[in-house]
Amino acid sequence: MNVPTATPASPSPSDFVFEVDHRLSSGGAVGSDGAPLGRTGTIQTPHGVIQTPAFIPVGTKATVKSLLPATVRELGGQAVLANAYHLFLQPGSDLVDEAGGLGKFMNWDGPTFTDSGGFQVMSLGVGFKKVISMSESAHSGAEVIAKNKERLAHVDEDGVTFKSFLNGDKHRFTPEVSMRIQHELGADIMFAFDECTTLLNTREYQEDSVARTERWAVRCLDEHARQTADRGHRPYQALFGVVQGAQYEDLRRQAAGGLARLTGAEATEQQFDGFGIGGALEKQELGTIVSWVTDELPEAKPRHLLGISEPDDLFAAIAAGADTFDCVAPSRQARGGSMYSPTGRINAKSAGQRRKFEPLDDECDCFTCENYTAAYLHHLFKAKEMLGSTLATIHNERYIVRLVDRIRTSIVDGTFAELRDEVLGRQYGTEFARAAAARTATAGVTARD
């Protein structure tokens, strides 16, 4: 007898769920409705659950540099983020698709993120390589470019034409191309293609850019709907809109509110599943800017702050309502021997570590600190042994992942302000911690402390 087989359900936005679990009771900003902006939550994806707030380790080219995926899981990583720009250039998104998607390609069985490639197109395209320049003394105007560099990226209404930083080949990203690439990469969460500006761009250019990013967002929603319908063999991929607007409150609120209400022009039922917060902002204003954005965004959808990992920034952003974060800094700094500790950075290569026959951080529970001494790490870096990068990266990633886990617990048990003051006081000093608390108290509409 022939038994009919069940037809797999088509991918649907209902496969991606976010729920708010607890709200920050004290120590954080509140929105215009009087509700606290900081919260904990649960993101359910086709490949697993993410408890928020959460730090997402970055695996730019489908690898967290120097670490096995199993090691990332062991140190507490709940998800990884890879980069569409880099994977498009090498090995190609079509190859990753053929392999079964990003997770299968890199042997990671948890949730995955991909960013749109917009940041890399802009930052590498204007010659700043790893970061967007934030020094107003060096540049000005709309066409920002690093000194003695050729501009490799050019923006127009339809998209961006750029040269590969690998070999100089010319490529073109449009909202539709970014969506196709990210669908082929197959991440659980992906981001709309946006224009990432710098603090050096003029107010007029920022206004034009916010409007252009919203027009691109509509095209992303339409293409996302087409790709989802055409790729029924893959699980649903959530699409996050990206809020720009630099340090202007009106632009940030306009951008956030606009994206929150946006639908596709053709796919009028398609909205964003969550939101990214990106672009140019000064460190001192981070909490305030995030609170402007989260105050405008729907409570029932998650918010990801792009490119953040410093302890003070994490406290400020979580108090202002951000849910997840990613940054290359923990692994990049580790490869140079710079390692986190409760009392500030430690240089594993410094002379003071040479005969320290104890853990580099005796309060840390990572594999490195439980099994190796600071003296051994010092030796590895001085001898230029690859193992040094691996052990240091394990420590740094675990330090930040664990810190955000502790912050999540503190929101649940009502000790957020106490934990912030303790951690920042030891990390940066008492005066710094007081100043950070004061900035949090003035972020957003008002504060609860």
Catalytic residues: 115, 326
Q: Environment class of residue 170 by beta-carbon count within 10 Å: exposed (0-12), middle (13-18) or buried (19+)?
A: exposed
Residue with tokens 């120590």: 27
Three-state SS for 417-431 is: HHHHHHHHHHHHCHH
Outline where 320-373 has alpha helix (H): 329-335, 367-371
Query: Which amino acid is residue 133, in one-letter code?
Result: S
Query: Which amino acid is residue 59, in one-letter code?
Result: G
Q: Counting every residue, how long is the chain?
A: 449
The shares of helix, strand and coil residues in the chain, as percent rounded to the nearest 5, are: 40, 15, 40
Comparing CA positions, the residue from 238, 226, 230, 213 lying closest to residue 267 is 226
In angstroms, rounded to a whole number, what is the distance separating the alpha carbons of residues 118 and 68?
Answer: 27
H or E segment to which residue 112 belongs? strand 112-115
Comparing CA positions, the residue from 10, 53, 15 lying closest to residue 319 is 53
Tokens of 107: 């042997």
* Strand bridging mode 54-57 / 324-327: parallel
Q: What is the DSSP string of 232-257?
A: TTS---EEEEEE--TT-HHHHHHHHH
SS3 23: strand
Comparing CA positions, the residue from 50, 129, 55, 54 lying closest to residue 85 is 129
Cα dihedral 100, 101, 104, 106, rounded to 10, equals: 140
Three-state SS for 156-188 is: CCCCEEEECCCCCCEEEECHHHHHHHHHHHCCC
Tokens of 309: 């990992």
Contacts of 165 (CB under 8 A, 6+ apart): 124, 129, 152
Tokens of 215: 């027009």
Comparing CA positions, the residue from 172, 178, 261, 264 lying closest to residue 218 is 264
